[in-house]
Chain A
Amino acid sequence: MLDFNNMTITDAHEGLKAGAFSVQDLLDASLHRIEESKDLNSFISITKEYATERAALLDAKISNGDDIPILAGIPLALKDLFNMKGSFTTSGSLMLANYKSPYDASVVTKLKEVDALIVGKNNMDEFACGVSNETSYFGPVLNPWDKTRVPGGSSGGSAAAVAAGQVFYALGTDTGGSIRQPASLCGVVGFKPSYGRVSRFGVNAMASSWDHVGPITRTVKDAALVMNVIAGKDPYDATMPDRPVLDYTAELDDGISGMTIGVPKEFFEEGVDEEVQDIVRSALKECEALGATLKEVSLPMMKYGVAIYYVTTPGELSTNLARLDGVRFGYKPEGEFKNIHEYYAASRGDSFGDEIKRRTMIGTFVLSAGYADAYYKQAQRVRTLVIEDFARVFKEVDVLMAPSSPTVAFKIGEKLDDPLAMYMCDVLTIPANAAGIPAISIPCGFNSEGLPVGLQIMGPQFEESLVLKVAYTYEQATKWHKLHPEI
């Protein structure tokens, strides 16, 4: 059986072109690995039939001598909120457990156009609400580095699948850190591009003004290669500025000599584990050795990030989930009902998990008459101040560097009954979502228990190439991305 655990997307592409192995070999290796490590619970469904059919067609193309795009035949997975025609798209919820997508999300269309090989749909926190993957109706995902710990969330299944070598890459979504935080906890690369850079059409929404689509990969260059395919304007998504898609690999080798890296002091304060801080500070020193200058900066409004987030996103979530009523979509409750309201309440009450119930109630409350101005609108105003903070520091520095997560992966069950403690896990990732700026998490070391730590790099809006270049320069100078968990 082929083992692609140490291969990049480029390695696999070259191997396919040279005839060293076939697409079917890659698919078999992926499916074997998924089966072998299924205790991770990283998948909700496998699209084997689709992938097998595509593999045969692609292998025929290759043996015909046809040129193939770089992502062709490379196994990937989708977080289970990307609609893919004919596949179940559950959003990790009983509400949508039987929902089969009637169409493809625009990013899925883009992936299909380059013959990408979609092997399955990843487990996730219910409706992308969670930081531990424990809110999924389909059960928790285990962290491949330590199976007693969470993989992070909400794209926890995707990060675990990539870390465990089940797939080369996955698409996730990041509303307050849901790509970067699990990438950090699983020791892989997670990239959240700018708001509006990648289409959200056909991606089950959580909070529309905060949701971002992005890749989870093993290396920075792989993330750039995936971005090259998924970025760009989509007529079905009206929130996308019409900006050209660059070749995100073009500047990777340019280095960081002469650049100024901002170190926001609020990201290294109480609440952020000291060992995590030390490991990230070592990474900063490494960047200094690579020719960059470090400069301490301040983002004073960042301390309001979690509060802004837990007012505005529940508001948007409760609105987006209002369409799930057991009629047009969703769960059909048992029993007789006196009126349609009773039916709706039964459908939602019986099928939503605790976290969704909490957040839809918070959202309903902050948008209700008499409270909307004090809560929702005030949060939107403070959000403006967070954005102004970033604009100010990006006049002085090229990028910002900080930890991605305040802690390493925590124990399964540890924070389950303490929603607010859970919410604090996103304190370092939320600010980039508030401002819609690109941010990446890359591996930068391990703590004394052997658990991965992530370095977060943030850049100005639409400076994807810059963020990827800085990440790549650090990555190539270190070995962290070459270390994989023993499964």
Chain B
Amino acid sequence: MKLSKDDVKKIAHLARLRLSDEELDRFLPQLTEILSYVEMLQEVNTKGVLETCQVAGLENIMREDIVDHSLATADDLLSTAALPVVDHQIRINRIM
């Protein structure tokens, strides 16, 4: 997989990463090398092989939909916000 600098820019945008020009130049060959390495997976014949999504051997674990505040209250959880909390809500700047 040969990536271009524009490809890396696009991926960085999708990943919500602000990168400098220097970073784009540095990551381009590294990402290309990693993606070229993993291309070896294409040589494996996987016709009829199921995908492994997890190895717990479980499926459809159900529980009652009950909110549990025993570990932390909503305000405890809000206390970790990066931005100011006002009236139990996170205050962010106007965005439109």
Chain A interfacial positions (CB closer than 8 Å to B) = 99-100, 102-104, 195-196, 208-209, 235, 238-241, 301, 304, 306-308, 310-311, 318, 322, 325-332, 337, 339-350, 352, 354, 357-358, 360-365, 368, 374-375, 377-385, 387, 419-420, 423, 434-436, 461
Contact = CB atoms under 8 A, between A and B. Distances in A.
Interface string B31-72: 101110110111010100111111111100101000000011
Contacts of B54: 195, 208-209, 239
B51 A380 contact: yes
B58 A239 contact: yes
A22 B81 CA distance: 40
B11 A348 contact: no
B18 A350 contact: yes
B14 interface: yes
B4 interface: no
Contacts of B18: 342, 345-346, 348-350
5 contacts: A328-B82, A379-B38, A381-B50, A382-B44, A419-B34
A196 B58 CA distance: 10
Contacts of A357: 12, 15, 17, 19, 23, 27
A413 to B, nearest CB: 16
A326 B57 CA distance: 36
B90 A327 contact: yes
A438 B52 CA distance: 18
A337 B96 CA distance: 11
Nearest to A322: B16
Nearest to A359: B34
B82 A329 contact: yes
7 tightest A-B CB contacts, nearest first: A349-B18, A436-B55, A380-B51, A381-B46, A345-B18, A102-B76, A103-B71
A419 B30 contact: yes
Contacts of A301: 44
Contact of B81 (A235, A311, A329, A354): A329
A197 to B, nearest CB: 10
A196 to B, nearest CB: 4
B37 to A, nearest CB: 6
Given A349-B18, A379-B41, A361 B50 contact: no
Contacts of B92: 327, 340, 343
A374 B57 CA distance: 25
Contact of B72 (A103, A240, A362): A103
B42 A327 contact: no
A358 B31 contact: yes
A309 to B, nearest CB: 9
B13 interface: yes
A360 B27 CA distance: 12
A99 B76 CA distance: 12
Given A195-B56, A327-B82, A378 B46 contact: yes
A362 B79 CA distance: 32
Given A103-B72, A195-B56, A307-B40, 12 more contacts: A102-B72, A103-B76, A196-B57, A238-B61, A239-B58, A326-B82, A328-B81, A347-B82, A358-B34, A385-B46, A387-B55, A461-B55
A362 B82 CA distance: 26
Nearest to A379: B41
Contacts of B58: 196, 238-239, 241
B14 to A, nearest CB: 5
A209 B53 contact: yes
A344 B30 CA distance: 24
B77 interface: yes
Given A241-B57, A344-B16, A420-B34, A307 B23 contact: no
